[in-house]
């Protein structure tokens, strides 16, 4: 297929995949999409055969070649090897394990123990190759509430032609998440705490993107500002891979027959992960239902039930913080595809969202969406109960985000003959304190004390051989020197970026 990309809000000005990855967002504020997704379905038999001999890397090669076809097969091959060979703590990269009457797809075996590694180990390699034939160097700016910042730092560390600045809210992350970031190695990285909450840091980053004089000064030094946000197709494409790979693993294990349908239940925030499953469906994977699982911030559950998207509601801080989101940016791409590519409708909805915080889709469009999607939500107590049930009945230690998906999966009917895959998005050891509380383990001490308590609890039950201990990189944080101590006012961030651009690029 020839995958040219254009904005969800207009067909004018098509760009190549490489340019779309460098720019991140289209000029009119829309998201880049391609109209080729369902034109040439992937050959599933060939995919399973390739996977049998070549593992996850072979699946990644096939899927990424189809989606990003202005990269040569050799370029894709090099990116795939750099991103996934020996960087994940499982030979399967994203292993599928049987739990109860379902399967859990473990996406958290990467270097920072969250599923964002799958995309953020790949995005920097794609960006750096896209920039090769330009004179530009890329400066990535990211505000984070925890997982994205560390995954981006690890992915971009020492990548040629790219530098990265990460900002996190002072006191707004878990102890482990903060230590993961402030101990980051690499000469092209910078990390700072910002006084205020996540939204303050995020707004300040947006202001820097809109700071024309600053951008001009950077452009005169051939520096392009970019972001590692999940609206970038360079983040979305690598996530399509594990849906196909889960199918191939299940066929190879003999758990399903070739051509069988699958359900996927996905813990959702920004709608990136589950949208990748929708892309896989359009590209030929036999997906029965995509189940959108939300926490108490259930704006998507309501949208998929009523057709009304309304962000005017209380915001809840939950034990699954990476899903505490009221504006699910990637939903815009679903509206584009399911409306048959109606850019005007998308623009109308997004303008209404900007102006009033609300839009409503026509009933026919909602009906089409509901053919592929089911939904549900879990509040914190339900997630805690799921953690306890998974541990006590199945010896499976789940993190709070995965627990939300497990709870929702149990609420949605399993159709006979359709295998159910629940996506696990973080290591339980990243959220030790909340997992300990859910298991009613009393721990005196810091997050590392909780980590040891969880390891002891797992050892006692004869834990699954795949996850007997805390990931080494997390345990080692207790004794890793801190590199970044700076705490900034939000108003000082632009000056920090300019100063660091000289040091790290």
Ligand X SMILES: *Cc1c(COP(=O)(O)O)cnc(C)c1O
Shortest distance in whole angstroms from residue 485 CB to ligand X: 25
Q: How far apart are CA 191 and CA 473, in angstroms?
A: 18
Which residue, among 383, 379, 351, 369, has the nearest Cα to 305 in the 3D structure?
Answer: 369
Shortest distance in whole angstroms from residue 143 CB to ligand X: 14
- Which x/- pattern, by CB under 6 A, does the window 25-64 give for ligand X? ----------------------------------------
- Which x/- pattern, by CB under 6 A, does the window 144-163 give for ligand X? ---x----------------
Nearer to ligand X, 159 or 426 (CB): 426
189-194 and 162-169: which strand pairing? parallel
Candidates 62-70, 112-120, 168-176, 408-416: pick the segment binding ligand X (CB under 6 A). Answer: 112-120
Contacts of 351 (CB under 8 A, 6+ apart): none
94 binds ligand X (CB under 6 A): no
Residue of 114, 251, 293, 477 that binds ligand X (CB under 6 A): 114
401 binds ligand X (CB under 6 A): yes
| Site residues (CB under 6 A) for ligand X, limited to 305-324 | 322-323
Q: Where are the beta strands (DSSP E) in 8-147?
A: 32-33, 96-99, 102-106, 137-143
Dmax over CA atoms of the chain, in Å, equals: 61
Shortest distance in whole angstroms from residue 46 CB to ligand X: 28
Shortest distance in whole angstroms from residue 225 CB to ligand X: 22
**Is the distance from CB of 229 to CB of 110 less than 8 angstroms?**
no
Contacts of 474 (CB under 8 A, 6+ apart): 113, 176, 180, 427, 429, 430, 451
Shortest distance in whole angstroms from residue 443 CB to ligand X: 22
Shortest distance in whole angstroms from residue 230 CB to ligand X: 5
Q: How much is the CA Rg of the chain, to the nearest whole Å?
A: 22
| Site residues (CB under 6 A) for ligand X, limited to 356-385 | none
249 binds ligand X (CB under 6 A): no
Q: How far is CA 252 from CA 45, 51, 52, 217, 457, in A?
A: 11, 9, 7, 54, 33
**Is the distance from CB of 224 to CB of 137 less than 8 angstroms?**
yes
Please give the span between the terminal C-alpha atoms of the chain, in angstroms, as a whole number. Answer: 36
Nearer to ligand X, 333 or 500 (CB): 333
Residue of 65, 69, 154, 273 that binds ligand X (CB under 6 A): 273
| Site residues (CB under 6 A) for ligand X, limited to 420-439 | 425-426
Shortest distance in whole angstroms from residue 278 CB to ligand X: 12
Nearer to ligand X, 184 or 268 (CB): 268
**Is the distance from CB of 292 to CB of 373 less than 8 angstroms?**
yes
121 binds ligand X (CB under 6 A): no
Nearer to ligand X, 18 or 430 (CB): 430
| Site residues (CB under 6 A) for ligand X, limited to 209-238 | 230
Q: How far apart are CA 39 and CA 500, in angstroms?
A: 45
Q: How far apart are CA 84 and CA 92, in angstroms?
A: 10
Half-sphere exposure at residue 188, Cβ-oriented, CA atoms within 13 angstroms:
20
Nearer to ligand X, 58 or 438 (CB): 438
Nearer to ligand X, 48 or 470 (CB): 470
471 binds ligand X (CB under 6 A): no
Rounded to 5°, the CA angle 253-257-258 comes to 105
Candidates 78-86, 94-102, 108-116, 294-302: pick the segment binding ligand X (CB under 6 A). Answer: 108-116
267 binds ligand X (CB under 6 A): yes
**Is the distance from CB of 355 to CB of 373 less than 8 angstroms?**
no
**Is the distance from CB of 146 to CB of 177 less than 8 angstroms?**
yes
Residue of 268, 295, 301, 458 that binds ligand X (CB under 6 A): 268
Residue of 110, 124, 161, 272 that binds ligand X (CB under 6 A): 272
Candidates 121-129, 182-190, 261-269, 378-386: pick the segment binding ligand X (CB under 6 A). Answer: 261-269
Catalytic residues: 116
Nearer to ligand X, 79 or 423 (CB): 423
For ligand X (CB under 6 A), the number of binding residues is 17
Nearer to ligand X, 241 or 323 (CB): 323
Burial of 492 (0-12, 13-18, 19+ CB in 10 A): middle
Candidates 38-46, 264-272, 300-308, 353-361: pick the segment binding ligand X (CB under 6 A). Answer: 264-272
Q: What does residue 181 show for φ and ψ, rounded to 5 degrees? A: -80, -45
Nearer to ligand X, 273 or 447 (CB): 273
Q: How far is CA 319 from CA 322, 373, 414, 432, in A?
A: 9, 25, 27, 11
Q: How far apart are CA 489 and CA 491, in angstroms?
A: 5
Residue of 24, 95, 110, 269 that binds ligand X (CB under 6 A): 269
Residues near ligand X, by CB under 6 A = 114-116, 147, 230, 267-273, 322-323, 401, 425-426
């Amino acid at each position: 297929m020839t995958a040219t990309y254009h904005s969800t809000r207009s067909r004018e000005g098509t760009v190549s995949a490489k340019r779309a990855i460098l720019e991140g967002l289209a000029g009119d504020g829309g998201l880049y999409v391609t109209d080729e997704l369902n034109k040439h379905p992937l050959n599933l038999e060939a995919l399973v055969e390739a996977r049998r001999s070549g593992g996850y890397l072979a699946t990644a090669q096939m899927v990424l070649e189809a989606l990003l076809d202005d990269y040569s097969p050799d370029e894709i091959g090099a990116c795939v090897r750099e991103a996934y060979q020996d960087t994940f703590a499982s030979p399967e990269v994203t292993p599928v394990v049987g739990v109860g009457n379902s399967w859990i797809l473990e996406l958290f075996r990467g270097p920072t123990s969250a599923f964002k590694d799958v995309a953020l180990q790949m995005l920097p390699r794609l960006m750096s190759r896209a920039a090769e034939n330009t004179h530009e160097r890329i400066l990535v700016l990211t505000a984070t509430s925890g997982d994205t910042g560390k995954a981006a730092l690890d992915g971009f560390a020492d990548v040629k032609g790219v530098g990265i600045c990460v900002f996190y809210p002072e006191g707004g992350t878990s102890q482990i998440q903060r230590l993961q970031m402030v101990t980051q190695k690499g000469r092209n990285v910078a990390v700072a705490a910002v006084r205020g909450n996540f939204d303050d840091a995020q707004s300040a980053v947006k202001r820097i993107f809109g700071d024309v004089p600053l951008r001009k000064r950077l452009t005169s030094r051939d520096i392009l500002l970019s972001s590692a946000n999940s609206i970038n197709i360079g983040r979305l494409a690598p996530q399509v891979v594990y849906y196909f790979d889960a199918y191939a693993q299940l066929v190879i294990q003999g758990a399903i027959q070739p051509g069988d349908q699958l359900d996927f239940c996905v813990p959702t925030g920004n709608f990136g992960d589950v949208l990748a499953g929708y892309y896989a469906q359009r590209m030929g994977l036999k997906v029965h239902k995509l189940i959108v699982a939300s926490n108490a911030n259930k704006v998507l559950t309501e949208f998929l039930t009523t057709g009304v998207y309304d962000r005017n509601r209380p915001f809840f801080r939950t034990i699954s913080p990476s899903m505490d989101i009221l504006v699910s940016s990637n939903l815009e791409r679903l509206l584009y595809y399911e409306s048959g590519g109606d850019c005007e409708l998308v623009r109308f909805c997004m303008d209404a969202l900007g102006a009033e915080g609300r839009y409503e889709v026509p009933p026919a469009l909602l009906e089409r969406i509901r053919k592929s999607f089911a939904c549900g939500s879990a509040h914190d107590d339900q997630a805690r109960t799921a953690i306890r049930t998974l541990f006590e009945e199945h010896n499976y230690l789940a993190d709070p985000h995965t627990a939300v998906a497990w709870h929702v999966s149990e609420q949605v009917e399993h159709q006979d003959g359709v295998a159910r895959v629940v996506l696990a998005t973080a290591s339980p050891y990243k959220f030790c304190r909340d997992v300990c509380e859910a298991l009613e383990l009393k721990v005196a001490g810091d997050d590392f004390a909780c980590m040891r308590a969880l390891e002891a609890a797992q050892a006692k039950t004869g834990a699954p051989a795949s996850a007997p201990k805390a990931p080494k990189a997390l345990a080692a944080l207790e004794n890793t020197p801190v590199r970044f101590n700076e705490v900034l006012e939000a108003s000082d961030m632009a000056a920090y970026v300019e100063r660091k651009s000289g040091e790290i690029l």
